[in-house]
């Protein structure tokens, strides 16, 4: 994916109340930062932010944190966020360091259209690989819930195996989400793919 540079991205991040440059600063203190004990839902690789922002607007009793490692992408997300939300933060960070950002504080993880890393030698980089599933164990609070959407069938099937081997129980699986149950809140990628009738694979699982 070619990333289009955003002019003044540093200023956009600096001047936004939603932006956090180093998530590890608030490890073990996220509920204090939000000022409540509401559930925390995170989206790892939030892209331009449509999904996480719309969820925050629709669900004021849930705290949302989006994580994205590219400055230009996170700047675009910040430009979309309305000023009145008090249940949203966006972190610039790499998923590899997710366990440095949270310590048994997260209730729900979204993995939306993650990089499929198609080459077998790169499968360990997938966000549903055993390496990441072990990291997630250390950041979940009580319940462990992962919700995943992808247009990549190989990543979908791989993830089903990995989740199952790691003790997750599947509550919902779809090979064509928008045909089976059109979601009310979508991602930018999802809108693009569904408009072309490309199947969206979906997993909702709990450990």
CA end-to-end span of the chain? 33
Among 172, 179, 177, 171, smallest CA distance to 200 is for: 177
pLDDT of residue 107: 98
Helical H segments across 49-124, by residue range = 50-58, 71-80, 98-101
The answer to whether 42 touches 110, Cβ cutoff 8 Å, is yes
User: What does the DSSP assignment read for 3-67?
Assistant: PPP-TTHHHHHHT-TTEES-GGGGTT-HHHHHTS---EEEEES-TTSHHHHHHHHH-TTSEEEEE
pLDDT of residue 2: 46
16, 50, 87, 88, 106 from 61: Cα distances, Å: 22, 19, 8, 11, 14
Is it the case that residue 31 has pLDDT exceeding 90? yes
Is it the case that residue 3 has pLDDT exceeding 60? no
pTM, two decimals, is: 0.94
User: Catalytic one among 107, 115, 137, 154?
Assistant: 115
Is it the case that residue 4 has pLDDT exceeding 70? no
Domains and CATH numbers, the chain: 9-206 (3.40.50.150)
Residue 22 phi/psi, 5-degree rounding, is: -135, 100
The answer to whether 6 touches 76, Cβ cutoff 8 Å, is yes
pLDDT band at 1 (very low <50, low <70, confident <90, very high): very low
Q: What single-letter DSSP state applies at residue 83?
A: T
Would you call 115 a catalytic residue per the annotation?
yes
Which region among 6-10, 138-142, 166-170 has the lowest average model confidence (pLDDT)?
6-10
């Amino acid at each position: 994916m070619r990333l289009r540079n955003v002019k003044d991205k540093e200023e956009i991040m600096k001047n936004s109340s939603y932006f956090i440059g180093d998530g590890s600063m608030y490890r073990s203190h996220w509920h204090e930062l939000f000022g409540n004990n509401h559930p925390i839902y995170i989206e790892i690789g939030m892209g331009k932010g449509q999904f996480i922002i719309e969820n925050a607007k629709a669900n004021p009793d849930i705290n949302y944190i989006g994580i994205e490692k590219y400055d230009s992408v996170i700047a675009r997300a910040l430009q979309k966020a309305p000023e009145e939300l008090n249940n949203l933060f966006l972190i610039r960070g790499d998923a590899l360091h997710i366990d440095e950002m949270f310590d048994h504080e997260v209730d729900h993880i979204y993995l939306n259209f993650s990089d499929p890393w198609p080459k077998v030698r790169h499968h360990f980089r997938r966000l549903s690989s055993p390496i990441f599933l072990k990291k997630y164990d250390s950041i979940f609070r009580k319940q462990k819930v992962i919700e995943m959407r992808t247009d990549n069938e190989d990543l979908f099937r791989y993830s089903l195996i990995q989740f199952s081997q790691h003790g997750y129980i599947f509550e919902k699986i779809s090979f064509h989400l928008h045909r089976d149950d059109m979601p009310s809140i979508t991602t930018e990628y999802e809108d693009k793919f569904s408009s072309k009738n490309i199947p969206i694979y979906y997993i909702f699982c709990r450990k």
